[in-house]
Chain A
Amino acid sequence: MKSSGHTTRARASVPDIGPSLPTATVPLLFLAVAATLCLLVLTSPPLVAIGLLLALLGTVAPDHVPAWWVLLLLGLSQLWREPLATDVVYYVLLAGVHLLYVLSGLARLLPWNGRMQVGTIVRPLRRYVLVQAVVQPVAAGALLTFDREPGGVTGLSLVAALLLCVVVVVLGLGKRSSEST
């Protein structure tokens, strides 16, 4: 501010949060990943169209059409595919569904016109890589073990039990840590 004889010109007042990205990056990335997975995984054209529509609506209007509809469609689309250990698309689907879940969690936090610290995606990304580093070998091992006996009830039960154990152990650890604090 100066004396009334002068006028001042405003300069941009943008809060500094360090290296940052536009928040629109996240929903756009969600749309790109979802669309790619739909085109890659879904086999029939009507399903592809529905998948693309759900992906688009989940990106543009997440309050009305939640993003998890497209996750459900993609997850269940594996039913129409052969369970092969050598099928790369399956591993891509496994990684993609998880990535879509992480991205939808970030996308629902902010409007499109915001900015996000680059650091905010480091932890989710690290956690994503860690989970995938466990899940992908487990999936490969399970498929290699059971693709000789597709639909084998014993093998499936073993994997389900393993899955349940993982969940119970994690939940138990979480409860113990919350009680200790």
Chain B
Amino acid sequence: MMIEVALLLGLTIATTGVLMSRVDVLLIALPLLACAAIGLDTKPVDGTQSRVRINVARRAAEEGVDDFVFRVDVDAPKGTELVHLRLTLLGVSTHQLLVRPDAIVTGRIPVLHSGPQRVVAVDYRLAGVDSAWLSLPMPSELAEQVVPPVIAPIESIPLPHRLTGLTGTHGSARPGDGGEFRDLHAFAAGDRLRRIDWKATARRSQGLGDLYVRRTDATSDATVIVVIDSREDVGERVERWSGAPSDEDGLRVMDVAREAAASLAAAAIAAGDRVGLLDIAAHHGVVRAGIGKRHLDRLLRRIALSEPSGTPLNRRRAPIVPAGAIVYLVSALLDDEATSVAVLWRAAGHRVIAVDVLPALQLDGCEWHSRLAHRLVMAERQLRLTRMRANGVELFRWQEDAEQPSRAVVLRSLARAVRRRH
């Protein structure tokens, strides 16, 4: 386009110079016409391809916060003098850059959140000598990464009210093989001879025909269903709740939710339990209950990929979970959807533990109306939590704070509570 401008300008000035018989005016057109000629000379032929390459790697930093390290380079056709790059980092922060075609753009982005991250998006266009020609904006190139959540160690994990499996690592209430000592019992038809306790028989038998056997508890596994609520992903700063997404630091609901879900799933798999996953906000977020390392990898991958979807799913009835399963509902509990589903599961006889993943909120910078709205939302939420507790749903916060200094202590007390009931 600048070729046309240079030609038009040059020819206008030159023509005026000729018409006015002024060689000095004519000569002013000389550099402009030279620029037009060079621009035409270096214009690439049509159909020349260009492309941009983005490499993203994750690197552990010394201070404990990992970084994405990215590198962008452009394959530009011959004759390109400048490349206009528009880099969008993490979907929000945009950088306009003018670089040479052989330039390599690098950068580091701190990994602030878990889950799918649109690390770098690049839009670009090419320009010739003195912007003599400009390409159309090229289709955007995107580099994505999925950041796995942190897995917090859990020593004791609460179990369902009723263990249903035939073998496993947990002691069952019914007599069988593999568990701890249960009692001494008179020999009955079906008892194995090697179970006869001769010392107890000698001590206790009243007649010659009395035999006593040692009985043990059976072992069993539990079925754990981790339900993740990816409906909302608000951050710890209340002032940004109603704004556009930003590259804000600090925790977000989904960061805590992914961490809680992954930690619970890993702890349950480590205990030999069957673990399934359900996303109440999405159709596709179901992983059937299973055991083993490969199943854990599948669960962790699905948890890492969970993110708020455009249209949340409104359920008319609670999703079906296996009989006797314990349900961990990982949610910020900011609306009635998750609560009503939890109450339905509890009414069906499942043990339901709601894991509150709303991070400790910060009200800095909030105006009075935001503070008022926050108070209303929190009051409604408190009412919701009270109703859940009244319906038998147990509840604990994942994040440790002044209200709940130790998550491990809470989990231990929840685990003990069910052991007593067995």
Contact = CB atoms under 8 A, between A and B. Distances in A.
A66 B22 CA distance: 26
Nearest to B249: A10
Interface string B107-141: 11111111000000000000101111010000000
A135 B30 contact: yes
A105 B78 contact: no
A23 to B, nearest CB: 6
Interface of A, helix, strand, loop or mixed by DSSP? helix
Interface string B98-111: 11100101111111
Contacts of A105: 2, 130-132
A26 B184 CA distance: 94
Nearest to B134: A109
Nearest to B120: A15
The interface size bin for chain A is 35 or more
B287 interface: no
Interface stretch (A27-35, A49-57, A138-146): A138-146
A132 B31 contact: yes
B42 A174 contact: yes
A16 interface: yes
Contacts of A120: 81-82, 98-100
Interface string A86-128: 0000100110011001100110111101111101100110010
Given A72-B9, A101-B32, A160-B14, A17 B97 contact: yes
A159 B184 CA distance: 122
Interface string A38-50: 0000000000000
Interface in A133-181: 134-135, 138-139, 142-143, 146, 151-153, 155-156, 159-160, 163, 166-167, 170-171, 173-174, 177-178, 181
A4 B359 contact: yes
Given A4-B259, A13-B108, A156-B21, A139 B113 contact: no
Given A109-B82, A170-B37, A155 B23 contact: yes
Nearest to A71: B9
A64 interface: no
Given A78-B22, A160-B26, A174-B41, A110 B98 contact: yes
A76 B34 contact: no
A13 B34 contact: no
B32 A170 contact: no
A1 B23 contact: no
Which of A10, A124, A131 is the most central at the interface, judged by chain B CB atoms within 10 Å of its CB?
Answer: A10
A66 B249 CA distance: 42
B236 interface: yes
Contacts of A11: 110
A10 B13 contact: no
Contact of B23 (A94, A146, A167): A146
Given A98-B31, A139-B24, A171-B41, A8 B250 contact: yes
B31 A72 contact: no
B107 to A, nearest CB: 4
Given A4-B256, A72-B9, A177-B41, A135 B31 contact: yes
Contacts of B16: 76, 79
B110 A15 contact: no
B28 interface: yes
A110 B96 contact: yes
A119 B103 contact: yes
B251 A15 contact: no
Interface in B230-251: 236, 247-251
Contact of B6 (A16, A93, A101): A101
Given A13-B93, A114-B98, A171-B40, A76 B2 contact: no
Nearest to B95: A15
B111 A178 contact: no
A115 B255 CA distance: 33
Given A156-B26, A163-B26, A10 B248 contact: yes
A154 to B, nearest CB: 11
Given A1-B114, A4-B399, A115 B9 contact: no
B265 interface: no
A101 B6 CA distance: 8
6 contacts: A1-B111, A17-B105, A78-B24, A110-B84, A114-B97, A120-B82
Interface of A: 1-5, 7-11, 13-18, 23, 66, 68, 71-72, 75-76, 78-79, 81, 83, 90, 93-94, 97-98, 101-102, 105-106, 108-111, 113-117, 119-120, 123-124, 127, 131-132, 134-135, 138-139, 142-143, 146, 151-153, 155-156, 159-160, 163, 166-167, 170-171, 173-174, 177-178, 181
Given A81-B24, A117-B97, A135-B34, 13 more contacts: A1-B114, A2-B64, A16-B105, A101-B9, A109-B84, A111-B96, A117-B98, A123-B129, A135-B30, A153-B21, A156-B18, A156-B21, A160-B14
